Structure 1
């Protein structure tokens, strides 16, 4: 086993060196070349994977006379014998990058509706509102345009997406039948949010909306408990390309969303939802520690909680198979 780990480590280092040499060659051939070609190629490959292997189709929905545009990935063949599952991502890229390890399995059991939240991926707006309520209205508006207005939906959400999903369940209870919340600080008071952010130092925007490879490495280390060694051998220029593609276009709006989330004070009625809810948490979560997951569970009488051992905040990356199985069993009511 130790020998295999050394081989994998060396392989990763050789790949890193090869990529760095490739960058040097490109820079020699093209002065001032800074186009994020590798990340754009990877993003295009993910689109190909979603379409070809997961039977998903990209759909763009315009709301309020084009003021807001919400991009969705939707099952290409919606089947009546499968329940509808909405998947809401958190910070850290668009829906493709966050759900890459999950869509293949989940597409076999559900009709999937996967939006890019506004200002992430290909969703954008001229609206100046930066609240969770605005995100919820945008997602619901898009879902209704796609024919999901009769209710009975299941929603799986992670981190920032959990705030949005919870608000949808509160504002449109008739639409949501079951709710899965993963590693989300739903119900945090302003003081609790500030306390957690201070543990990691710096402004929240520096953590959630990284500017440099160093910032992105720190975000990965905070978000994950296992499998984080890879971030050490990824060359800086690739991380810079990822930042350019995922954050630069809407950096101002993403920072404003994060600040609004941090500064808002949740009211006591925020807990008053009736949907059957599954809470999933990693016991090594450094963003929203497990005690907050337990507290949310206590406030929701119609909830259950699953705690994953040795898993951090990024459950969708660290334990996707376990997460998929829990979501599937809960939504399909398989005991």
Structure 2
């Protein structure tokens, strides 16, 4: 199997060192393609840059497209010796933008990545010129999948032991089959997911120790945030929700019409609260829009960016 990074990006997989939210240096994997104004693609929970495989080439014809793996995901560093604090992704994404770009960027973000992007657009509006959010978990009342709930309940010590024993590697064929079944459930047309897709989607979990434990940790943070929100305790969800009107950059809200994780009513509500926003419902689209509806997704992104020219 050819290396996806080498096939996709002219310089292959590159490396960037940033200070994480606790001040420790961490290595971030990224790739870039194209020239012009910077456009950063941000993946969701449990995913990595590969999820944008169908958008990189089309968008790079018009922009300098940058794809990176968030800390703990994909090919980026997975520091297991320290626990994460809520909101660390927001701080780290800001530092990635500042390290790679010297002008306001276009951010296209999906699922959890969209929630992170909304927070940055509120806190550091000078960093983002235009924003596209896809199926954002901004009003969710629970973790949307049973496996997420299960991982969120598992002690992290157990998850780290599973990682250290390389159980996903030892049972790779079974792991890939289970992941294939679950990933197809968030696609309108499950048949589009190829064996190569399954290989790369599962690669970090099977080949890169620490991935499972870090994803489990992020799910525990997410579950705690939802629980705090429901109990009216301090949480980031409420903070982001109550400051949506502070987002001033042109914003496109994209939502899968058949998204069973986060209904279209959430997209309509998000659009209502962001003053300078546009809502587009993607037909024949479940939650994984970047894979399952990439053609209409790419077209919507380019049309929006052409209509809202960034000076």
User: TM-score range, shorter-chain basis?
Assistant: 0.7 to 0.9
Is the 1:70–1:138 contact (alpha carbons within 8 Å) kept by the matching residues of 2?
no
**Residues 254 and 261 (structure 1 numbering): CA distance in 2 closer, same or farther, change over 3 Å?**
same
2:280 matches 1:328: no
| Residue aligning to 1:216 | 179
Distance 1:274 1:154, change over 3 A: same
- 2:263 equivalent among 284, 289, 301: 289
3-state secondary structure, aligned to 1:174:
helix
Is 1:245 aligned with 2:226?
no
> Residues 265-315 of structure 1: CA distance to partner in whole angstroms, max 9, x if unpaired?
312434232221101111111121212111111221211111111211111
2:16 pairs with one of 48, 61, 85: 61
Q: Is the 8 A contact 1:115 1:139 kept in 2?
A: no
Q: In the TM superposition, what is the alpha-carbon distance from 1:92 to its structure 2 partner?
A: 4.6
3-state SS in 2 of match to 1:193 = coil
1:139 aligned residue: 93
CA displacement, residues 172-193 of structure 1 (integer Å, 9 cap, x when unaligned) = 11111110001111243xxx12
Q: Aligned partners of 1:216 and 1:287: how far apart in 2? A: 17
Report the counterpart of residue 188 of structure 2 in structure 1.
Answer: 225
Q: CA deviation at 1:100?
A: 1.1
Per the alignment, residue 128 of structure 1 pairs with 83
What is the match of residue 113 of structure 2?
161
> Equivalents in 1 of 2:24, 2:204: separation in Å?
27
Matched, 1:102 2:55: yes
Distance 1:205 1:293 in 2: 27
- 1:102 Cα shift? 1.0
| In structure 2, distance between residues paired with 1:277 and 1:217 | 33
Equivalences for residues 42-53 of structure 1 within 5 A: 42=2, 44=3, 46-51=4-9
Gaps of 5+ in 1: 1-40
Is contact 2:108-2:133 (8 Å) kept? yes
- TM-score, structure 1 as length reference: 0.71
Distance 1:309 1:285 in 2: 10
Please say if 1:259 is aligned against 2:213.
Answer: no
Distance 2:218 2:200 in 1: 23
Take 2:201 and 2:255, find their aligned partners in 1: how far apart are those partners? Answer: 30
Secondary structure in structure 1 of the residue aligned to 2:51: helix
Unaligned stretches of 5+ residues in structure 2: 153-158, 160-167, 169-174, 230-236
TM superposition shift of 1:91: 3.0
Report the counterpart of residue 269 of structure 1 in structure 2.
Answer: 242
Q: 1:214 to 1:130 in 2, by over 3 A?
A: farther
Match of 1:177 in 2: 129
Residues 1:204 and 2:149 aligned together? yes
Q: 2:29 aligns with which of 58, 71, 84?
A: 71
Q: TM-score, normalised by structure 2?
A: 0.76
Paired residues of 1:213 and 1:239 also in contact (CA < 8 A): no
Pair 1:279–1:93, CA change in 2 (3 A) = same
RMSD across aligned positions (CA):
3.1
CA contact under 8 A between 1:170 and 1:270: conserved in structure 2? yes
Q: How does 1:292-307 map to 2 (within 5 A)?
A: 292-307=266-281
* Partner Cα separation in structure 2 for residue 134 and residue 47 of structure 1: 26
Structure 2: distance between partners of 1:303 and 1:283? 18
Matching residue of 2:44? 90
